[in-house]
Amino acid sequence: MSSTDVEVVTFPFHDHPLSCCDDPVAAEFYCSLCSHYHSLSWQVFRSGVWQNEVEPWFRTSEYHGPALRISNNINYHCKECDIMMHKDCVDRLFNQPFICNHILKIFVSTISPLDSIVDDLCHFCRFEVHHMFLRCTICNISLHIGCVAEPPPLTISEPKHHKHSLSLLLRLVTFTCNACGVEGDRNPYVCLECNLMVHKDCVENLPRVISINRHDHRISHTFHLGEKEGDWECGVCRKMINWVYGGYKCSRCPSYAVHSKCATKKEVWDGLELEDVPEEEEEIKDPFKVINEKGDIVHFSHEKHILRLDENYVTDDANMRCRCCILAINGDPCYKCMECDFILHKACANLPRKRRHLLHNHKLTLSSRRIDEDNFLECSACRIYTDGFIYECLHEDCENKNAYDVRCSSVSEPFHHDLHQHPLYFTLQSSRRCQACNKEIKDDPLNCTVCDEYSLCMRCATLPRKVKHRCDDHFLSLCQGVGNASGDLWCDICETKTDPSVRYYTCDECGLSLHIDCVLGDLYYMKLGHQNPEMEIHPNNGATRPSCARCGFRCKFPFFVRGTKEQSALYVCSIDLCPR
């Protein structure tokens, strides 16, 4: 066939006749099937020999010699639809029936959405089909060209996951997956011998054995949880699990199970498949060593001196703070240094060096380096500044090197709060509003499984239950609601109204109602004194409150920042709360 001849052919995969040619007018055209540009080959005479080139490259160079155009592919063109196709692409996609045993047809749509088609989503990937796509008019399904080029396998053999081969049932059918318990509406893989129907993703991607941050032991996947006394409750979302279907179980804890989808969320699982990986107990160092019969200890954070336990330490100094959590001692049992002012709550001194925690999918390591570096960080959970001990992720593959203060790291499930009657859980329900501060929660909140709307952000969940403030001689406690008060509530610190619908601090004896930010500020969890070469943190307990260099008002918060770089000291109310 010469370059000027045009043959017209028809195929069952398209309703219009196609022009067949091996030499299109344009030097370059776009194949609608493989989505690639096809450039014709040329030969040019360089240095005494013919060399292959691609137009238009050689025409933009300094070459002005002879050139031969060479056609290396036969192509089809539909004038009505204005599409062109490689013959090789046509042969690859249409030379035999699709896996449904029917011939697919090319559809070109100029209307969006596709009015004449019931389902305008690809049958396999469930993304919207666009200008050109394929359809099986018998099965009434639409398909992306890429999904047809690489269709799902007809059979899957995963002997570690299931002893029999699983076969694809290519049709629209409603089923409940035996692997994850979630309903599907198409293309299950079935085992006729075991009467199983599963999602393709589940049989290919669900790990067999994993560790999650909600449980101390490994958990294994099963296609059938089975009956037990009482209902199965998911260890993540706290909802019921249908025992007929699959999930993850703990071989050591007979009543512990997790939904397949919950167990494999990135917030819960570290992404490691542990089947055939030996389970070895990690040796974790103790946080301190007992050195004598009196119970004196040497703590890893303060190895140069000895600490001694005081079960009834009482001090009027509200600035005497635990070096770990930076909270006031308030008469709690504590370890005091025999030679300096270093002090730790007894509970803080016993914090483990490593732990799994609900906030992160890797193990966290306890670090005291902030007390030596004279700087502070923002906790990744509550977003509060601290220079106390932190739990940080040191995993080499961790994308987010998060760090959490010890208050957030000590929150466990079930979490009980004095101002709510039900336990709270990390159920991974996002876009909630905190019932304590009425702010939207961006990260995972603590949720009540009884009261659907009740959630707490980590900042409100870890607020000190009792605090001391210079405006009152008694301990202040958290409160929400008007209680026995009549009329409006007013904050005695900033002299503005207190909103009883959010939490505030009150004195049961004096009836004060104080804003939480006014009582704590945002420097409450940082050690007093030197912080870095440019700033110091001081208590705001002088006879005269300093004027803030930012807002121009007298500092109202319990602590302020004093700049040390300038010759004349500058004072700032806070890091973030200061009105500018």
Q: What is the pLDDT of residues 339-349, one digit of tens each?
A: 988 999 999 99
Cross-strand pairs, 222: 247
Please give the distance of CA 64 from its chain centroid, rounded to a whole number. Answer: 60
Confidence band, pLDDT 50/70/90 cuts, at residue 141: confident
Average pLDDT estimate for 508-529: 87
The alpha carbon dihedral of 94, 96, 98, 102 has a sign of positive
- DSSP, collapsed to helix, strand or coil, labels residue 519 as helix
Hey, what are 525's tokens? Answer: 């969890």
pLDDT of 177 above 60? yes
Model confidence band, residue 180 (pLDDT cutoffs 50, 70, 90): very high
Helix (H) or strand (E) holding 409: helix 406-409
Q: Does the pLDDT of residue 70 top 50, yes or no?
A: no
What is Dmax (Cα atoms) for the chain? 105
Give 383-399 pLDDT, tens digit per residue.
998 889 999 998 888 87
- pLDDT class for 2, splitting at 50, 70, 90? very low
Q: Give me the half-sphere count of Cα atoms (radius 13 Å) on the Cβ side of residue 238.
A: 15
Instruction: Give which of 146, 573, 19, 529 is closest to 323, Cα–Cα.
Output: 529
Rounded to whole angstroms, the Cα distance separating 342 from 98 reads 75
Give the number of other Cβ atoms within 10 Å of residue 186's Cβ.
Answer: 17
| Element (DSSP H or E) covering residue 517 | helix 516-520
Q: Average pLDDT for residues 130-139, to the nearest whole number?
A: 83
When pLDDT is averaged across residues 559-576 and rounded to a whole number, the result is 79
3-state secondary structure of 360: strand
Report the pLDDT value the prediction gives residue 114, as an integer from 0 to 100: 47
What is the number of H-type helices and E-type strands within the chain? 9, 50
By C-alpha distance, which of 196, 164, 170, 198 is closest to 182?
A: 198
**pLDDT reported for residue 443:** 78
Cβ(215)–Cβ(355) below 8 Å: no
> How many other C-beta atoms can be found within 10 angstroms of the C-beta atom of residue 541?
11
pLDDT digits (tens, 9 = 90+) for 302-330: 999 999 998 877 665 666 788 999 888 87
Per-residue pLDDT, averaged over 31-41, amounts to 63
Which amino acid is it at 498?
T
Average pLDDT rounded to a whole number, residues 61-86? 65
Q: How far apart, in whole angstroms, are the C-alpha atoms of residue 407 and residue 415?
A: 13
Which string of b and e fits 20-29 if b means at least 16 CB within 10 Å? bbebbeeeeb
For domain 463-520, give the fold.
Answer: Wheat Germ Agglutinin (Isolectin 2); domain 1 (3.30.60)
